[in-house]
Chains A and B, each alone.
Chain A
């Protein structure tokens, strides 16, 4: 089983839709969690951190479920500009190396 798994998609949704992605991780010692956004042929950029209490930033909500070992990203009122690949990142306590998922592709159409 891969350490961090994401559904590659693509998720194809109309503008205004609500869409959610999950990312599962295998190491229960995982300590920190992030969602990054990567546009085509660009570098990944931090979208938001994921805290135990959850995190909301405008239309974006991230949550952590430690019992089931997954994090989620919810996007409300999708915009065309939300089209991108969303990467989840997990850090295991004591490790120098973060683990990236392979990403979930989102396409928002008019």
Chain B
């Protein structure tokens, strides 16, 4: 089992470019989350999903969109990247809100 995977692992964008980060899980978990982690800020929730076809905003949703068309995939989109979106992005999954979360290895994004 691969667990939770994220693609790509690294990416450099120019301001204004768009991209999609993919999170895939083979754990059959209902809940999926996208976080960003910046130095001194800890993990901040961007968007989350409680099941296939559902999405909801987290703490810092502005500038991002998400989709959960299939249970195993959770996509995070940046329509027009800004330098403030330079960060490490982690995807996580879980069986439920009070359960353990399993994290992907992260995507390191730099926006110039």
**A43/B106 contact (C-beta < 8 A), A97-B45, A102-B41, A103-B42 known:** yes
Contact with B along A70-95 (1 / 0, CB 8 A): 00000000000000000101010101
Of B42, B103, B104, B106, the residue contacting A102 (CB under 8 A) is: B42
Q: A96 contacts B103, CB within 8 Å? A: no
**A44/B100 contact (C-beta < 8 A), A96-B48, A103-B42 known:** no
Asked if A59 is an interface residue, CB under 8 A from chain B, the answer is: no
Residues of B within 8 A of A34 (CB): 100
Residues of A within 8 A of B61 (CB): none
Q: A100 contacts B105, CB within 8 Å? A: no
**A43/B103 contact (C-beta < 8 A), A96-B50, A97-B97 known:** yes
Q: Say whether chain A's binding surface is mostly helix, strand, loop, or mixed.
A: loop
Q: CB within 8 Å of B: which of A18-53?
A: 31-32, 34, 41-46, 49
Residues of A within 8 A of B58 (CB): 97
Question: How many A residues, CB 8 Å from partner?
Answer: 22
**A44/B42 contact (C-beta < 8 A), A91-B98, A95-B97 known:** no
Q: A31 contacts B100, CB within 8 Å? A: no
Residues of B within 8 A of A44 (CB): 43, 90, 101, 103
Q: B42 contacts A98, CB within 8 Å? A: no
Residues of A within 8 A of B45 (CB): 97
Q: Say whether chain B's binding surface is mostly helix, strand, loop, or mixed.
A: loop
Q: How far is A24 from B98 in the complex, measured between Cα atoms in Å?
A: 18
Of B31, B40, B103, the residue contacting A45 (CB under 8 A) is: B103
Of A32, A42, A101, the residue contacting B98 (CB under 8 A) is: A32
Residues of A within 8 A of B88 (CB): 41
B-side residues, CB < 8 A to A, are 31, 40-43, 45, 48, 50, 56, 58, 88, 90, 97-106
A-side residues, CB < 8 A to B, are 31-32, 34, 41-46, 49, 87, 89, 91, 93, 95-98, 100-103
Of the A-B pairs whose beta carbons lie under 8 Å apart in the complex, a sample of 11, sorted by A's number, is A34-B100, A41-B88, A49-B100, A93-B98, A96-B56, A96-B97, A97-B48, A97-B58, A98-B98, A100-B42, A103-B42
